[in-house]
Amino acid sequence: MELLHHIKSIRKALKKARQEGKTIGFVPTMGNLHNAHLALVTQAQALCDVVVVSIFVNRMQFGLNEDWDKYPRTLEQDSQKLRGVGCDYLFCPEESEVYPNGMDAQTRVIVPSMAKVLCGASRPGHFEGVTTVVSKLFNIVQPDIAVFGIKDYQQLAIIRRMVEDLCMPVELVAGEIVREADGLAMSSRNGFITADERPRANQLNRSLNWIKSKIESGERDFLRLEAEAKAQMSEAGFRADYVSVCNGKTLEPAAADDLNLCVLGAMYTQSARLIDNVSLTLGEA
């Protein structure tokens, strides 16, 4: 695997691969890689000849009171893991190269629909930071395929919309959620969960699955289910940020006759904000 820090060098390497007729798969990350990231790399490898992973902890998508400064930077371990799965290129640019004119002056990409609800409501500006950096990374790498984990369901829905709206020539592929044995979705932020909280930290997943089973057995009072799920999290010692039964495509609150649904939630532990989702298809969707 080649580790490259500069836009010029990754472009040069990929130009050669493209001239040889190779297809390029891309997995953008912020590092601190775990098995769910590695599964995305394996998925990209099955679809493309050459796979690029990027690691860039994008300050633009963190709010002022968020954890940008304590977000784990583990380049050495990440490189080893990527070598282990046979990744071809690891691209780790400096902030000064990604935002050469500073972040305030940076041209931004905004997807107005979907960006201000759910996670966007409690993290103002977050998705603007995501879509701006992802579009820059797409321009740098110019991948044929990009793989994103579906744990960040809203992120993927927004990126899909950006790609569609801006006619970006990239195919998006969703990677399944990888879970710990007790159902907790793997996340770089799980390291912030305390030992005391850890046995209960799967409550978010348990509550979302509880809603799913209620809907599957005919319940349609989504507001009641959402309120009950939040109460379950509170009983387990956590604060729910939101729980929402949504239309799986638009992310608008689900209508009683919607067939493709996604139940999304976010929950605060003492030092982490966890997100998760479960999808369900009703009837003949």
Catalytic residues: 37
Nearer to ligand PAF (CB atom), residue 129 or residue 226: 129
Q: How far is the CB of 130 from ligand PAF (least distance, A)?
A: 5
Nearest to ligand PAF of 241, 258 (CB atom):
241
* In the complex, minimum distance from the CB of residue 142 to ligand PAF, in angstroms, rounded to a whole number: 17
Kindly tell me which of 39 and 211 has the beta carbon lying closer to ligand PAF.
39
Q: Are 53 and 85 in contact (CB under 8 A)?
A: no
Q: Per the structure block, which two tokens stand in for 246?
A: 């949504």
The smaller minimum CB distance to ligand PAF, of residues 91 and 222, is found at 91
CB 125 within 8 A of CB 78: no
Least distance to ligand PAF, CB of residue 46, Å: 20
- Name the burial class of residue 116, with classes exposed (0-12), middle (13-18) and buried (19+) by CB atoms within 10 angstroms of its CB: middle
Task: Let me know: does 14 contact 50? Beta carbons within 8 Å.
Answer: yes
Residues that bind ligand PAF (CB under 6 A): 28-30, 58, 61, 130, 133-134, 152, 155
